[in-house]
Structure 1
Amino acid sequence: MTRIERLRAVMREQSVDLVALGAGAHLAWLTGLRPHADERPLLLCITQNYAGFLMPALEVDSARQHTDLPFHSWGDDVGPDAAFAELLSVSGGDGAKSIVLDETMRADFAALVQGALPDAARQFTATTVGALRMSKDADEYAILKRNALSADTAMRAAWAAMKVGMTENDVADVVRASFKEQGATPLFYIVGAGGNGAFPHHQTGETVLKPGDAVVMDIGGAMNGYSSDMTRMAVMGDAPEGYRAVHDIVERAVQAAMEAARPGVRAHVVDDAARAVISDAGYGAYFVHRTGHGMGIEVHETPYITAASQTVLEEGMVFSIEPGIYLPGRFGIRLEDIVILRGDGPEILSELPRDLRVIHG
């Protein structure tokens, strides 16, 4: 069954007449197409009997190389309205009573759809395309696994190069270079030394690595349209006072979350398990973010592993487990792995241990 066929099955179950997607992750997942996105309206509309594009004329020839779906093209001299009306008529979408809009599309694109169907009930993609994207197939798993191993290699390269006197940016440069050497596109590289590690989303900068610094290293790259994401810890020589005890608490929180993650469990149960370990150790106020997020075409996508999430976890879902403790002015510790949920629990995609890496020199 193709992904469009799977989407139509969900649309039938939920009595959705029309799904409209803009350029972005939903469209890429559904069709493999990644068209240029600008202010010109570009939409894929799917009904039970038709799937076609509202396509700017500038994009037609290039896009045709990547899809056999029909185009309803328009030029800057006439605008999109007539082409969109034609698309709705041909697809049967002009009679839609229930529509799903891509929540990531431009507001003016959404307004174009809603303006043409003012009486239709509107929802976003959470229970249609978004729900389908959460469970990865074997091909997606293979790509994600390869990406995870690429991040392992980039992390090892950084550790091999690190030394006192380098800046955070110097370390990030090594990460970027390693990803590029492997054919991956570097996406992010948080390097937080010393007190900067207490900022969960620290902006890597010119802070110099000093003896005794604990260093948070959160990195990710992309290959074949999917991403990696991993966080490990390093210390420059001797660890700061109290560091190892806190590292052990975070590791136990990771293990508790791994144990809680099972098909049929609501996502908040995984967050609850990690948070309980940290709270029971007296550091609850210093765990300031969710336990995890889904990952695939986007670095952050559903399911989100939060204290409030009622999402029921299913086999094939891919998400991070990344509890942390952040002590202002001292250090931060986050340990992150991406997992795919199997029938008996999570499989970690990375093969790099979460053990503390001690950097000598």
Structure 2
Amino acid sequence: MEKRRDVRNLTFKLQDHNTGTVAYVLKGFVLIFLGFIIARIYSTPGSDLRERVSVTVNSFSDLPNHCESAQPIPATEFYNRQQRLADILHSLNASAYIAEPGANAQYFGNVSTTSWKLSERPLLLIVSPILENDQPKAKIFVLTPSFESSRAKLLPIPHDKVEYIEWTEDANPYEVAASVLPSRSKIYMDDAARLFIFDGFRKALPNANVLPAHPDIKELRQRKSEAEISLLKCANEATLLAIRAVHKKMTIGMRESEARGMMSMALRAIGLENGGCLTLFGDNAALPHGSGTDRTLRESDFALFDCGGSLHGYMSDVTRTVALPPSKIPFEDLAIWMDVRTAQTMASRAAIAGAVAQDVDAEARLALQKYTAYFTHRLGHGIGLEGHETPYLRGGSLDIIKTGHTFSNEPGVYIEGKVGVRLEDCFYINANGQPVFLTENVGGQAFDPWNP
């Protein structure tokens, strides 16, 4: 007992003599404990904290904003789109085109799902051709819930005079909208509109012909203007530059989640919104849209990045399958990579104005005929306000390629349990009818796995 008192008294004396020393020691134990916890989390597959720590370490704050000078689509171009739509509606003897917030309403009226979220209460953009001096002019109505009308009137719709049609909670919104439409008419609907919107108008206008959008209407959005091409170029260039920046900082032994976090940081730093990246190492890439397993990168592995972001609403989509300087990629995997690149080149040469979409897809498959069973998806998709939009480069499609069209060109070989390779660059058809990669100004196609 006396010895315990002596030890206790000695401890008190030491604390009185130098309380700072005790505090310092305790602080050291706390830091060691926290370090242990972080290390455990960092070593756990799929850890969000580990990913955030990695992203912080691999900051891309020095990556310049590639699209800093890019401007959104000007009001004058919206006016032109609306007028062209009115001309087509008039030529088709149609009284209106109706769209929900989304890519089509964004194209004609700058109303996206970002500016107005979809709900069970419809807000609709209605474009009608009104005759003035025997010439059709675009008239825009917005059907809005009455209690939301003040917010609806804040929507930045480029038009001289938008007319708002309000419907109260106890009213049928489609019958209210029908009050500005002829009872016997032809009405074209946004293809992406939800089924209950279609049904609502068909019931409210039983004598009208309510139809999905006519091909001439859809072609307006499919064929891009110079301003749209400019935004798509910048977005896709920025995405490729971000992939290259991440590639330079990668190391053997890192995890998929680390590389994915680095890509998110790089895409944000370079000036894109809503950036994201499918990141797959080794045989995980054999599942074209796989979610990965957060495996580590080995010397014998390729790393596949399928990345995109948006710039003033216009999307990017770039895929690279890469190797690192110390990688030791098997010869047969390198041969697959080169064959995929050849397929991409052959498809690009075939994609001229006047070509049939299925024939372009077939060119890529010709280059990969020894991997027929492993090229499992279409060659490409349209791109613009949506990451995937019409028309598509696929077998069975008789769509004719035209100037202003934009597509992805993304052949791939996927051998499950072994390897996956995909290369993707988007391109547009210029005024001369020739394909031009949207990434051309920053080098275009990958040269080899080490030079993406």
Q: Normalising by the residue count of structure 1, what TM-score does the alignment of the two structures yield? A: 0.92
RMSD of the TM alignment (CA)? 1.9
Residue 28 (structure 1) aligned to one of 96, 103, 106: 106
Q: Which letter does structure 2 place at the counterpart of 1:354?
A: A
CA contact (8 A) 2:201 2:210 kept: no
Within a 5 Å distance, the mapping from 1:116-127 to structure 2 comes to 116-125=204-213, 127=215
**Number of aligned positions between the proteins:** 352
Within a 5 Å distance, the mapping from 1:111-190 to structure 2 comes to 111-125=199-213, 127-190=215-278
State whether structure 2 residue 167 is matched by structure 1 residue 74: yes
Residue 61 (structure 1) aligned to one of 138, 144, 150: 150
State whether structure 2 residue 125 is matched by structure 1 residue 44: yes
- Give the match for residue 6 of structure 1: 84
Counterpart-to-counterpart distance in 2, 1:200 and 1:252? 19
Deviation, structure 1 residue 205: 4.3
Within a 5 Å distance, the mapping from 1:195-274 to structure 2 comes to 195-236=283-324, 237-274=327-364
Q: Name the SS of the counterpart of 1:23 in structure 2.
A: coil
Structure 1 pair 205–6 and aligned structure 2 pair: CA distance change class (3 A): farther
Q: Which letter does structure 1 place at the counterpart of 2:166?
A: S
Of 131-140 and 349-358, deviating more is: 349-358
Q: Which letter does structure 1 place at the counterpart of 2:238?
A: S
Q: Which letter does structure 1 place at the counterpart of 2:342?
A: R
Counterpart-to-counterpart distance in 2, 1:145 and 1:15? 37
Deviation, structure 1 residue 32: 1.1
- Give the match for residue 279 of structure 2: 191
CA contact (8 A) 1:7 1:128 kept: no
Deviation, structure 1 residue 170: 0.9
Deviation, structure 1 residue 10: 2.1
CA contact (8 A) 2:188 2:214 kept: no
Q: Name the SS of the counterpart of 2:86 in structure 1.
A: helix
Residue 436 (structure 2) aligned to one of 347, 350, 360: 347
Counterpart-to-counterpart distance in 1, 2:304 and 2:190? 35
Deviation, structure 1 residue 80: 4.2
Work out which of the two has the higher radius of gyration on C-alpha atoms and give 1 or 2: 2
CA contact (8 A) 2:375 2:411 kept: yes
Q: Name the SS of the counterpart of 2:335 in structure 1.
A: helix
Counterpart-to-counterpart distance in 1, 2:184 and 2:106? 27
Residue 366 (structure 2) aligned to one of 250, 259, 276: 276
State whether structure 2 residue 398 is matched by structure 1 residue 306: no
CA contact (8 A) 1:45 1:52 kept: yes
Deviation per residue, 1:87-136 (Å, 9 max, x gap): 3333x34321x222222222222221111123433432251432111111
Counterpart-to-counterpart distance in 1, 2:425 and 2:96? 37
Q: Which letter does structure 1 place at the counterpart of 2:127?
A: I
Structure 1 pair 58–291 and aligned structure 2 pair: CA distance change class (3 A): farther
Counterpart-to-counterpart distance in 2, 1:59 and 1:227? 30
Deviation, structure 1 residue 344: 4.0
Deviation, structure 1 residue 30: 0.7
Q: Normalising by the residue count of structure 2, what TM-score does the alignment of the two structures yield? A: 0.74
Deviation per residue, 1:211-268 (Å, 9 max, x gap): 1101111100111011100011112401123012111211111111111111111211
Q: Which letter does structure 2 place at the counterpart of 1:224?
A: H
Q: Name the SS of the counterpart of 1:94 in structure 2.
A: coil
- Give the match for residue 62 of structure 2: none
Structure 1: state its 5+ residue gaps. Answer: none
Structure 2: state its 5+ residue gaps. Answer: 1-78, 131-138
Q: Name the SS of the counterpart of 1:47 in structure 2.
A: strand
